[in-house]
Chains A and B, each alone.
Chain A
Amino acid sequence: MDSSLNAAASRVGSPTLNVKSCPCPALLAIIFSSMTRFCPKFLAALIAAFGHAAVLSAQETPLALTGAQLITISGETIEQGVFVVHRGKIVTVGPRGTAIPAGATTRDVTGKVIMPGLVDTHSHIGSPAAGDQSAPIQPDTRVLDAIDVRDASIQKAQAGGITTANIMPGSGHLISGQTLYLKLRDGNTIDDLLITNKAGRVAGGLKMANGTNSRRDPPFPGTRAKSAALVREKFVAAQDYRDKTARAKGDVEKLPARDLALETLVEVLEGQRVVHHHTHRHDDILTVLRLQKEFGFRVVLHHVSDAWKVPDEIAAAKAPCSIILLDSPGGKLEARDVDWKSGAVLEKAGVPVAFHTDDPVTDSRLFLRSAAFAVRAGMSRAGALRALTLTGAEMLELQAQLGSLEAGKDADFILLSGDPLSVYARVLETHVDGVKVFDRENEKDRLWATGGYGAGQPRAAHLCCFGTSEEAR
């Protein structure tokens, strides 16, 4: 993880930037332009460091929050605990009386609740798009190239306690493009929000869909069988591309011409990129599982309206489900039978369950409601809270760095006024990498939380490198 951009971003308090995975000799640092040109990771680290210069002061001093209930997710809930973050990381999660580092700023938050920042496994905040209307399969398109980090929807998500989100392109394609896992930092550019995964690649998955959304006029498929056939054909091509590439053994003469679409699908075939598959109806769910078995990709099922009808099949395929809880069923044929009980049914079947907002389908500011409604319909409280955080992190392969309150993990957490499953509870603060990105006491932030005149306007540009983070916002 040391090589990740995220690690670099969270280490901005450190005197030296961690760039050891970057093969550029330190000598070249003096030739700044070439450095940034040939070593994008160093550039990213610089952006992270100076783009978040405001972070530095906030991070140098440990922050201790005492007296709150700590819903750790990974362990027992601690009443009146001690919670300390420093330099973007959680350093202490303990009961009352646990030692607080010398020099820490201590805040008494007795009566409040602290839990991990929420992980939204499926969102459209930032108005992303990827594939266009020209073809049903476009794995070469990236949300990375089409997202507005100043969009009000991102601020509203922070106000709802969401700290990490999987930003997806739409479901009108069989394959609509590459998704992006973002940390909801207050960034100037998209680079400020990125996460770099273990392979050194920008973290994200691949969005796929079946059922009615991707059925359209040619060249889009007209039937479900055609949909599956088109997907299989493309994955077979990717297998061929992968094999040819392997056989070439690096010989430029023998390598197939570089194909961005197939290259992405090879990442999927090799398990380096998770498929996030929109699917509703029971038969469509089984089609996804059939394709998954044939090509061996890793998949998270999304929406899964009919999940409660086929829980055993989903469990047998070990396919995690990211589900949505809606105020009512319907609105489209495939969502006719969507039911709050899916969470409970899947949990009982042993299927990992996370929730998502599908924002703007449901409101990011009210993401906690999803868990509460799942509990209303029989899901365990612990399972539902995990489904908002750690289970979602697992689906995005980020569980090693976020999703629970544990020493060493990123300081992504929220401060709540009360029980997260209560309608009366409010998100008071949201912190990402130890930086407060939402504070209900702040007038501007409060507007994102409650709505009102101007709440739809994009976040204004700010001078990134001067002033405190409060002023910067």
Chain B
Amino acid sequence: MKIFTPHFAALVSLLAATAFAEDLAVQGETVHTMAGEAIRDGVVLIKDGKIQSIGPAATVKIPAGTRVLRAKVVTPGLIDAHTVVGFSGILNQPHDQEQLEKSAPLQPELRAIDSYNGRDPLVDYIRGFGVTTIHTGHGPGALISGQTMIVKTHPANLEQALLNPAAMTAATLGSGASADKGKAPGTASKAVAMLRAELIKTQDYIRKTKLAADKRPARDLHLEALARALDGQQPLLITVQRHHDILAALRLAAEFKLKIILDGVSDAALVLTDIKKSGFPVFLHPTMSRASGETENLSLETAAKLRQAGIPFAFQSGFESYVPKTRVVLFEAAVAAAHGLSQNEALAAITIDAAKLLGIQKRTGSLEAGKDADLALYDGDPFEYTTHCTGVIVSGVVTDVQPR
């Protein structure tokens, strides 16, 4: 008997790779929808990877035979607003470090999708605590290090998991942009000067591409990538820590009418008015980030100050060059929640607020009918150190059930 036909084999491998987006019901004593009040004894019905309906158990009927997962607390799958997981691999050896190309200071043409490793153990690790979506890619450390992408943490094929293959262009200002000794940029001023020159060149390129066909310049991947930041297709993500470098970033944005996101921003508290006035959002450094060098002034209370000032922000796990190799955005939000931010605000900053800033709020970030079924389950207050994440669902697939 020949059951194992090529078609069958293809089907099996497809299933193995993607797992099932099965019909599910998740019942939580408290369901934080992040789209209105939390629901006591709530039910989330999931079909075909999407949230079919959500509401109090009394009003949402669970069809017979549906697999039911129960938890004390249910939240939307968490979103890490900026990380290098999948690029900066767990082993920290040359072969698994893809977040930074040091050969040139300006390389916007480096695409994130060409080096993302969705099977790095750190992707599984952070998902185990409820992180279902990451904005990841080329890291800080070069004036322009490359592109970033937004992807689900499901280990399935990249195509399915990808929310945005070219989300932003990653830039760094301040001493963090410094190249190796003797190479440019070597100072914060030089970094700004080089970036301005490059943006002017890009403006010229954009102008010329609109000329008659015979007068158009040859296609330039480098300038083409930068053009997306210049014409507003993509935000320019600027990692910047010191107060004066933050102002330099704002100055640059004003000069070139850029849409930027301030990233890191250790000194945010010193220039809150300027940031607020600019209208640009912040991807705040990990709350527990190490305070040294450029980041020496960072504070556990900055998130609360941003909230108070009305500046939109989200949390990130950032980039770690050594041990630990990544942080977990849940823990970063937790410590902020213990330092002046309300629990709801902290949760919003790793769910719906992050989704809005990443432009993926139609797909994920809150528990609402029609959105992707991205959920995290906990056996208590998600922020408490001793609470466990008891389940994770990504696009309707139950990826984790082992308490973590």
Contacts and interface: CB of A to CB of B under 8 A. Distances in A.
Contact of B301 (A331, A333, A373, A450): A450
A452 B269 contact: yes
Nearest to B339: A450
A369 B385 CA distance: 7
A363 B295 CA distance: 14
B301 A422 contact: no
A327 B339 contact: no
A344 interface: no
A330 B328 contact: no
Contacts of B327: 327-328
Most A CB within 10 A of own CB, among B93, B267, B325 = B325
Interface stretch (A105-113, A199-207, A228-236, A453-461): A453-461
A361 interface: yes
A329 B120 CA distance: 12
A335 B331 CA distance: 20
Given A332-B92, A452-B297, A326 B323 contact: yes
Nearest to B327: A327
Contacts of B388: 376
Contacts of B91: 330, 332-333, 336
Nearest to B126: A328
Contacts of B290: 360, 363
B324 A326 contact: yes
A331 B125 contact: no
Interface in B313-365: 320, 322-328, 331, 334-335, 337-339
A421 B322 contact: no
A328 B297 contact: no
Contacts of A454: 297
A424 interface: yes
A275 interface: no
Interface string B89-110: 1111100000000000000000
A327 B322 contact: no
Given A333-B91, A450-B299, A456 B325 contact: no
Contacts of A296: none
Given A360-B290, A450-B300, A453-B267, A330 B323 contact: yes
A344 to B, nearest CB: 13
B310 interface: no
Contacts of A451: 291, 297-301
Contact of B292 (A330, A360, A369, A452): A360
B338 A424 contact: yes
Contacts of B205: none
B92 A328 contact: no
A333 B291 contact: no
Given A327-B331, A328-B328, A331-B320, A453 B297 contact: yes
Interface string B242-268: 000000000000000000000000010
A333 to B, nearest CB: 6
A329 B383 contact: no
B323 A372 contact: no
A19 B182 CA distance: 59
Contacts of B337: 423-424
Interface in B145-183: none
Contacts of A424: 337-338
Contact of B323 (A335, A373, A426, A452): A335
Given A328-B325, A335-B323, 7 more contacts: A327-B328, A327-B331, A330-B326, A331-B92, A360-B292, A452-B301, A455-B297
29 contacts: A329-B90, A329-B325, A331-B320, A332-B91, A332-B92, A332-B323, A336-B121, A360-B290, A361-B323, A372-B386, A376-B385, A376-B388, A421-B385, A423-B334, A423-B383, A423-B384, A424-B337, A426-B338, A450-B300, A450-B301, A452-B299, A452-B301, A453-B267, A453-B270, A453-B297, A454-B297, A455-B291, A455-B297, A456-B297
